[in-house]
Amino acid sequence: MSNVFGIKKALDDILEGKTYNLPKIPISYKISKMLKSDEVSPVMNKVHELLDIKSNNYVVNENNINRLGYAYLGHDEFEKAIAVFQLNVDYNSESSNVYDSLGEAQLAVGDTLQSIANYTKSVEINPNNQHGIETLKKLGADTSRFEKEIIVSEEILETYLGKFELMPEFIITITREGSQLKAQATGQPIFDVFPKSENIFYVKVVNAQLTFHKDDVGQVNSVTLLQGGREITGDRIEE
């Protein structure tokens, strides 16, 4: 919608004789249009050329490109997915998530060596990427340098117990059995969560992380859920 308004403003400026700037085009949109009628390799060569020569005309948004890659991956269009994820790596090389996504697509086509390389790079950038660590373990890679045993006392675990409302009618309930902390979101199974630090915990079976926050007097008052590159923070609610 913002592009529509941008184009309208540019047209208004033209009619009024003003200087105008056309809105930038998301490169993900350009890629999806081009891949409908052409082969992957020439399209991606053209995309690189556009971004090199006419970079001011396009927006290279990591999340948009990633969503496009997963759209292709979800339809088993593996060549397109890998090419799109690789583009994201090329232009967003400081992001842990882009390497994780590329590794996932490469694993889907059985390219284990490249998958390991990219998952490793992802974890090197973000050591809290437990999903990446667990995937590397399944692939037989050595993850010892990324792991250390964290023990959180039961007294501290007790401070995290309760309900946290992340969105209306979406609540995460934190419980424990001895030293094992557990989390259950509305309508979902209960999962064991494991400490990355005293206040950061991860789920092994899905790529999700919980970070507990304290208020000014040291009471735990909120939690942040990180999943799929998206962060949502919810306050503790009274039971």
Give pLDDT tens digits for 7-22.
455 455 545 655 556 6
Residue 145 has pLDDT above 60, yes or no: yes
The predicted pLDDT at position 16 comes to 61
The predicted pLDDT at position 5 comes to 47
Average pLDDT over residues 173-182: 95
* CB distance 68 to 29 below 8 Å: no
Q: Mind listing the domains of the chain with CATH numbers?
A: 2-146 (1.25.40.10), 154-237 (2.40.128.50)
Alpha-carbon span 223 to 69, nearest angstrom:
30
* CB distance 49 to 41 below 8 Å: no
Confidence of residue 130 (pLDDT cuts 50, 70, 90): confident
52-56, 99-103, 110-114, 163-167: which has the minimum mean pLDDT? Answer: 52-56
Give the whole-number percent of the chain exceeding pLDDT 70.
Answer: 90
Q: 61 vs 22, which has greater pLDDT? A: 61
- Cβ-Cβ contacts under 8 Å for 178 (sequence gap 6 or more): 154
Instruction: For residue 233, give the DSSP letter.
Output: E
- Cβ-Cβ contacts under 8 Å for 158 (sequence gap 6 or more): 176
Instruction: For residue 196, give the DSSP letter.
Output: S
5-14, 74-83, 162-171: which has the minimum mean pLDDT? Answer: 5-14
The predicted pLDDT at position 2 comes to 44
Distances (CA, A) of 230 to 71, 136, 154: 17, 22, 29
Residue 131 has pLDDT above 70, yes or no: yes
